[in-house]
Structure 1
Amino acid sequence: MTRTEYPWLLPSAMADPLNPDLPAERPRVRPRRTVRDWIVDTVIFFAAAAVGLLAGEASSQAGNSDLVVFADQIVGAAACCALWLRRRAPVALAVVLAVVGAVAPVAGGALLLSLFSLAVHRPFKPVAIVGALAIVSCAVQAVVRPDPTISLLGAVVVGVILVLLMIGWGMLVRSRRQLVLALRERARRAETEAELRAEQAQRLAREAIAREMHDVLAHRLTLLSVHAGALEFRPDAPPAEVARAAGVIRDSAHEALQDLREIIGVLRAPGESDGPDRPQPTLTTLDALVEESRRAGMKVVLDNRIGDPDTVPAATGRTVYRIVQEALTNARKHAPGTEVTVGVRGVPGDGITVEAGNPAPAGDFEKVPGSGQGLIGLTERATLAGGRLDHGPRKDGGFGVRAWLPWPS
């Protein structure tokens, strides 16, 4: 519950923030009665009037003088009209009616309904205090204005029971309203938390797509850059080499376009795909990756000691593929012309170990820019898969990557 939702909880006046010494001028904001409030207040007014009429009739039959009966009617009418103030000042209204009810039985109905309203709108402490005052008022009324049809003790007991019933009913209504407010607040918080979880899931999905896009496209675009640079710096190359480089550029551009289309397809809604999904790379496609790098002019030595790659889980095999792909891409960028060694070994239960490395490059070469985000993304990928990845310079000046991934038995 906030003050903006319930403006009547605001202070009665607000001081000028630019000059605190000036008196506040804005009056207290009060809620306007709704149609439901008017209906409830009207029903309560007529209920109190009905009880007052019954009490007035009993007063006239008890042998009271006409002046006392007339005074009772005036007090009863005023008490019923005062119930219209029960929302603004429930405590003050209940106290006044308790005092008046001690000498005017016709105000008893208004007193009971004011106690109900007090229990609905105020906490237990003021309700208990005013309730005790109302019980005393009932006892005083039984002595000052006795009812000839009932004994003194019976009148006191009936009065106490009615007071307790109205207070209990009001507290029950208050508890129910608080429960409804709590459930609404809990539902609102649950919706907010669900939105936060959805936003977090979207952010994680975007990060995963960004890592995948980097891993996929960096390999293809590096091939394009290397071969395009070779054609630029060697315009007099033999036609066979020019044709081979052009073929690699064409194939790499085509594969990059396919990979990009596949990644963008992940962002589309279901049913919006342009065609059937391409198969994801696994450990069984590792030989094709190495062969592609060899056709591009790289020297790659692959030592794959896993006899049956199909038994490796698809997610684990995909991670192995991406690690080797990133190692080949980095070697092509930062150590062209060197021999890259790739080793993959493992058995179910012990996990899979992936090692890739290259010696230091010899001579000058055209450097392809890199941000280093690929290895960071691979480290996160391996960690999420339950494994680990280490990378860094080797003693011979080269660079190496070593990763371990779990392989359940």
Structure 2
Amino acid sequence: MTNSPFTPGIAPARLPAEALAENFADLHAPLDGHEALVAADRCYFCHDAPCITACPTTIDIPLFIRQIATGTPEAAAETIFDQNILGGMCARVCPTETLCEEACVREAAEGKPVEIGRLQRFATDIVMAKGAHPFARAEATGKKVAVVGAGPAGLACAHRLAMKGHAVDIFDKKSKGGGLNEYGIASYKSTEDFAQSEVDWLMKIGGIRLLTDRALGNELTLGELQSDYDAVFLGMGLGGVNTLRANGETRDGVRAAVEFIADLRQADDLGALPVGRNVVVVGGGMTAIDAAVQSKLLGAENVTLVYRRGREAMPASPYEQDLAASKGVRFVFNAMPLEVLGNGTATALRCEYTRIEGRSVQGTGETFDIPADQVLKAIGQTLGATPDGLLIEGGKITVTGAGRTSMAGVWAGGDCANGGEDLTVTAVAEGRDAAEDIHTALGA
């Protein structure tokens, strides 16, 4: 990609290749063998471990840490994968600081938890590096299941179903599997093409076909899938992006943060990726943080994150907020966008200060302008078009129990369903649990 005369402030190669390589290196270096043993030795191996309860996939954390401490990391990895087949990615991207590590007894006693995430990565990396798959596929049942979406929920569902002996076809609208793990996570969290390596490793269970460039819609209907398969799991995530509801939103230089991150993740040369000189990110979640930090790492001079509520209300964790601040991202709280200024091309974002009245956000009438040649929207995604017959609530597919939808024979999980938090680890848990329910329903 090269700079365009219509976007004069957005340009590639703002930093030399050496600086880009350093900026996008692994955020957390992996533990070596000695470091892992020292870290594992800090675990109290609690009988009623709060870290297990805090993990959406309920990994037996004390057990796998004890297995590392006794020199059997392969066994530790199997303990992890038994509950979370994407344990390698989750070790990299999970907000452990608000999940298992926040619940750690060491955190309460000393303010320094056991490094559960890095220990999980240590164990899973060892097994994945060897290439062998830790689980065997059961005898074929003769049943076929369609999975729509090759993201964390779909992959976890497909793997568990394949383990049970079912044949699984995964359909995904992209040219690669992985979903947000491949297209939507900051590059410094998942380096060296790990997302694709993990997909390839997961597929070694056998019995799974990945059919790319196949989106649910006119060319692939839910009715056809119901006719051709014994069960269907929907895990296609959220395809649409909420609008700013601000004047001038269609000006050049305004785009969705998820698109910006996807381009970055797929770029062969980060130096060829254009970025603005003055970047404004609107939003307060993980996508907003990832877009803001990576804009700065690409060489943007000024990066400002605008959030309509106060810091304490931000969905992004305090750790992620501190990371962004450490990279030079400026935060503006209690402000919302009113207008993208410019003559065809963005030059500034006009904002209005806000106040909170009950649960609603109200403008105060006081405005200010932030220079912006690039505005990235990170204010949530939408489900988009959905098949007729599915019950939708709150913009997501309504599910009960382990992902059962309002349509017989159709399950859903991950970001597209109205389950828990929109996290990779939660999506894995929902896909896994739906697979168990599908297996029971099939009576195989």
Where on the TM-score scale, by shorter chain, does this alignment land: which range?
A: under 0.3
**Higher helix fraction (1 or 2):** 1
TM-score normalised over the length of structure 1: 0.19
TM-score normalised over the length of structure 2: 0.18
Structure showing greater relative contact order (alpha-carbon pairs closer than 8 Å, 6 or more residues apart)? 2
**Higher strand fraction (1 or 2):** 2
